[in-house]
Every structure is written in C-alpha cells, then in structure tokens.
A and B are shown apart, each in its own frame.
Chain A
C-alpha cells in the first residue's frame, strides 16, 4: 500500500510525533509523586526473554511479600514500593536497569536476578553505590565475592556438599562413600571437595573417587571400580542428564545402595531417563512444596490464591528476600543503604519460608537445605538438613 495515497502528511507527522514523544516521555522527571513517602526497593530480573519464567516467578514471590508487608502496616510506618526493571534476559541490560534504579529511582536496596551471570554484571554497580543487593537464587560462589554489599538468600553450590555429607552421615548412617565427579564442571568439583572434607570431619571415609567428563554416556567402568572398593553409597554431584544415566547404570551393575546427587538432578528428565532405577536417589533443593511445615503450607495457600498457580522454588526464595530486606530495614531503624547493609550482614536466625536464614561472613545464607528422595517414580520431600556452621568443629 502506498502511504501517501492513503492519507495526508499530517498522519505521518502524527506518527513521527508519537514516536518522538514516546522518547521524550522517558526523560520526564517524576515530580510530586504521591508515593514519595514510600520506601523504594528495586528489582531487576528476566521478566521477558528466554528466561522469563525465572523472572516472573521471582517477581510473583516478591509481590506477594510486598503486599503482605504493606497490608500489615509497612516498614517503619512507611509503605514499601517495589520498582521492577526488566533485563530481557539480555547481557548488558542489567547494568543499565540497575543504573536506573540507583540513580533515577534512588532505591535503598536491590533484589537481584536469579541468574548468577546477570548478578555479576549488576553487583559491582550496587557495590560502588553502597546499596545492598540481595539475590534470591544466584548460587555461583563468585557473586558474593563482588564485595560487602552483595548478599544471597539461597545456599551456594559448595554448601550443598556440606549438606549431603551431614545427610549421608547422620540420616543414612553411612560410613563408606565413593565419589563420582564431573571433572569438566567447577560445580561438580566444588561440591565433591567440600563433601570429602565434611564427610571425613563427621567421621566417615571417602573410599574412592572416580572422574568423568561432561558429555560422557557410559559410567560402567567408574561404577564398577567404586563397587569393588566396597562402598555403601555413591555421591555423584552432576546435572540431571548425567545423573539419570549414572542411576540407571549403577542399578544395572547390581549396586543397591543409596545414590546421592546435587540440585542439578531436580528435573523431570532425571526420572524419564532413570525410570524405576531412580528409586533410592537423594539430592538437596532450596524449597519443596511438599514440606509440611505450617509456614510453607500457609505460603503455598496464599500464593495459589493470589496468582492462581503453585509457586516455584525461586518464588519462595524471592518472598524470603523481600521479607529479609524489610526485616533489615526494621532492625536498622533507618532507610539509609549503609545501615540496611549492616543489618543484612548481621542477619541471624531469620525465619523464612525456605528455612532459618543466617548470613555468614561472606554474605551467603547459611540455612538448612531440603532433601528430596525418589519414591515410586516421583520426587518426595524427605527432610530438612542443617549442616551447621562448617567453621565450628563438628561435635
């Protein structure tokens, strides 16, 4: 169609004006905002793009916490306001979004993305501005190494090693365990080294360690070596695609003992690959909707009523993140970012949906993990395990 035939030039001018005014509108200062009295907290996440699910479930968890806090009278007599910015799951956008939150909206604290990479991008900006950033679900150890303003509410990758060591020793009563480690994944190596150390400290023995590489499909040689070393259980920190094959091949070789894994196993594909051989597998997760703790049950109920769908693990973590930030503001008795930062760092035994949270000296949450066991072809909530403080000598 020919635009000049179908309308006068004024229409095209109108379209140009519309585009220009859309640009200019973005530059307008917000003045006389009635919410000026509200305490502003920023949230940046993947609200659209390839990981939109992660961002949206984070947002829902934080929104539920926000509404409950405000319904209960807010914090320090002021309402909380959550300013959400989308990074489209795109590298480079988190930095821009956080610069906006810090310099335009003057937020007092930031809730981070659930993805470690995007937290590594935005973290240094929050650190430079002295504004605390709390990630609900960035598990990479590097994230909180950015500086003293960066926190997380989830546990770290290596922390799971300590959780599984305690679980293997105390709940399963194991004393001889073999390791099967993915030598190409820092995630797997980190978990294995912490497990070895903690399991020995708790009085057990790591009898043998076998290694494989990322895309391997056959683990029979390593499993046979482990089995002949006289082990009671295998600890194989890995992702579900390796995990499923390891489970199947271990059972095929006639090994009947417990199979221990890591949170990378939490995927339906694990059950699809392993089928009936997944029975007797155990791994840690951040949150289980099957937990019968009244706090968790209440949260599930309120979340379902508000959003008409069940929450995911990251929703529960985001809920805890905002509650923890609000709690820190209360304890600080001020909305100054440095005071909030200090209060966050001093968090001890904060009761969240995902467990009692304490911040360690590296600003990582120290809290119990949920152990999932496979029963009748489904992931079942088993128990909560608190590995204690690895800094303290085990009793």
Chain B
C-alpha cells in the first residue's frame, strides 16, 4: 500500500539511532540532553502537525496530552517497576517502552474525552476548549499529592536514550506520513480543505477529527514519557499553555501540513534556544527576532522544495 522506500527510510533511521545510542555515552551530557530534547520536539511537533496542519483543526492542548503521558509513564516506572524486581536491562528495554505506550494510550483516551464533545466547534472556539483542557490537566496535577502536587514528581529513572527518542520520532513521522498517504488518510486533507464539501462527499468529518486527535494525543503522550525519563523530574508548571504554544510555533514555522519542514523546525527551534545561551540576557530577544525573520522570509514553511523558487509559487 505504501511505497517501500518510506519503510526503508524508517528502518534506516531506526538502525542509525540504535547505532548512535551505543556510542552516545561518550557524548557530552549537555549536548546529549539538547539532542534528545530536539528529538522529543520532533515527536510533539509531528503529532500536532496531524491535528493542526493536516486536519486543519486548531489545538492548544498538546502540552496537556504530553502531561498525561509523562505522569502516567513516570508513575509506572517509579511505583510499579521497583515491585517487579526486573533487571536494569529489562527495565530499560522492555518495561520502559511499555510504560511509554501506556502513557500514550492514556493520553489518547484523554484525546477522545476532549475531542468527542468539542470537535463540533471550529477554529478559535476549538482552540479555547483545548486550551482550557490543558490548563485543567495542569491544575489537577498541581493538586494531587500522590504525584507530588505542585512540588513535582521526583526520582524518575533516566531510561530515555538516543534510540528511544529518535526511534519514536521516526515512528511518529512515519505513522503520520503513512496515514496521510493511505486511502483513508486522504479524508484528513479533505476535512482541512473544505469541511462542508467533505461531508457532502459522504465523509464522517467528526470521526476524522477525533481520529486525528487520538493519534496526535497518543504520540504527545509518548513524548511526555520520554521527557519525564530524560529530565528525571516532572513539575505541572512545565505543561502550561507556554509549552503548547512552543509546539504550535514549530508547526507553523515548519509549514502547516509539511512533514519535513516541521521536523526541521522542531530540531532548529530546540537547538536554537540552547545555542543562543551565549547571548546571555538577550537570548529570548534574539530568539524572538529570529522567529520574526524566519516567518517573514519563509511564510510557506521552513523546508519547502525548491528552497529558493525562481518564480513566486507561494500559497
């Protein structure tokens, strides 16, 4: 059904990240942290791209889904894992990915819970509903003592490594890509292009929207789990509205509904905030100026072929 080339690319990326994972121990821990952070951003941005870019919905709740996945998987590895008495290897290579999937599934469930009642809304209205959902998740976490409340959840084992991050990123990009290039997946684009027309053609638009939400939320949950086991500490404050906006910026800058552009934007923006540390107090000013410059010069997306069109072919 899919061109085998895409599967070959997926396998190649998986193999490459496994190889890199073997040598990443020699990498400077700071660079490794930035690289893994960038990989997690790819998962977040690509999954949001399915909702905001391809399906044309406007979600501001991605950080909320991420929080659900992060806390769920962290609770599994901090409370359940020690009781099972597994070896370190089993924990890292079997239990951890299972806990990531569990976190993703719980986030997907949250996706249904938010999506089902609210996807009848459009545009700005949907944005506000998802924004509210994200804030609810944050406030609930801030008040549940079992997960550390506002003090935060500590002592999360550092299972996240190169393979899990870039493996998840590759799978996310592949799944979104393959979904959209399937017969079923064309429906997402139809919903984005013209919802009324899509409905007239017999597409169940609500179902498409919920599917986009569920798949997007699943991967956001996985990203949350990766984040939790990278930082070793979770605080509800880290999943605020700002975090959702950060992901939305990656999607918009990369070009709504562009696969590679969004990946590049996620990598670039994460690395950029870190590399601008040397500008000291001007860091966020320089960052914002760069965002404005990029938006003005590449409104069609960061990575659209040909990079410098001879004739204007902008949408």
Count how many chain B residues have C-beta atoms less than 8 Å from C-beta atoms of the other chain: 44
A172 at the interface (CB under 8 A from B): no
A4 touching B312, Cβ below 8 Å: yes
Assess whether B268 is in contact with A23, with CB atoms less than 8 Å apart.
yes
Is the beta-carbon distance between A26 and B242 smaller than 8 angstroms? no
Q: Is the CB of B29 within 8 A of A102?
A: yes
Q: Which residues of A contact B297 (CB under 8 A)?
A: 3, 12, 15
The segment from A60-68, A116-124, A364-372 that touches chain B is A116-124
One of A12, A23, A26, A95 near B233 (C-beta < 8 A):
A95
Contact B238 A48 (CB under 8 A): no
B contact face: mostly helix, strand, loop, or mixed: helix
Judge whether A96 and B312 touch: CB under 8 Å: no
Complexed CA–CA distance, A348 and B238 (Å)? 38
Q: How far is the CA of A15 from the CA of B296 in the complex (A)?
A: 11
Tell me if A305 is interfacial: C-beta within 8 Å of chain B.
Answer: no
Of the residues A3, A4, A99, contact of B296 by C-beta under 8 Å: A3
- Which of B37, B271, B281 is the one whose CB lies under 8 Å from A47? B281
A95 close to B232 (CB less than 8 A): yes
Contact between A25 and B30, CB atoms less than 8 A apart: no
0/1 interface trace, chain A 73-93, chain B, CB 8 Å (1 if under): 000000000001110101110
- A96–B233 Cα distance when bound, in Å, is 12
* Chain A residues touching B, range: 35 or more
Residues of A within 8 A of B286 (CB): 22
Q: Is the CB of A95 within 8 A of B235?
A: no
Binary per-residue interface labels of chain A (232-272) against chain B in the complex, 1 for a CB within 8 Å, 0 otherwise: 00000000000000000000000000000000000000000
> Are B154 and A22 touching (Cβ within 8 A)?
no
Give the Cβ gap from B160 to chain A, nearest Cβ, in Å. 12
A7 — nearest CB in chain B belongs to which residue? B297
The yes or no answer to A356 lying at the interface (CB within 8 A) is no
B150 within 8 A of A: yes
In chain A, residues 112-171, which have Cβ atoms closer than 8 Å to a Cβ of chain B?
A: 116-118, 120-121, 124-125, 140, 142, 146
27 contacts between A and B (CB under 8 A): A9-B308, A12-B308, A13-B308, A25-B275, A25-B278, A26-B274, A26-B275, A86-B281, A92-B231, A95-B33, A95-B230, A96-B33, A99-B33, A100-B277, A103-B29, A103-B30, A117-B150, A117-B151, A117-B237, A118-B235, A120-B152, A120-B235, A121-B152, A121-B233, A124-B233, A125-B232, A146-B154
Binding site for B on A (CB under 8 A): 2-4, 9, 12-13, 15, 19, 22-27, 47-48, 84-86, 88, 90-92, 95-97, 99-100, 102-104, 116-118, 120-121, 124-125, 140, 142, 146
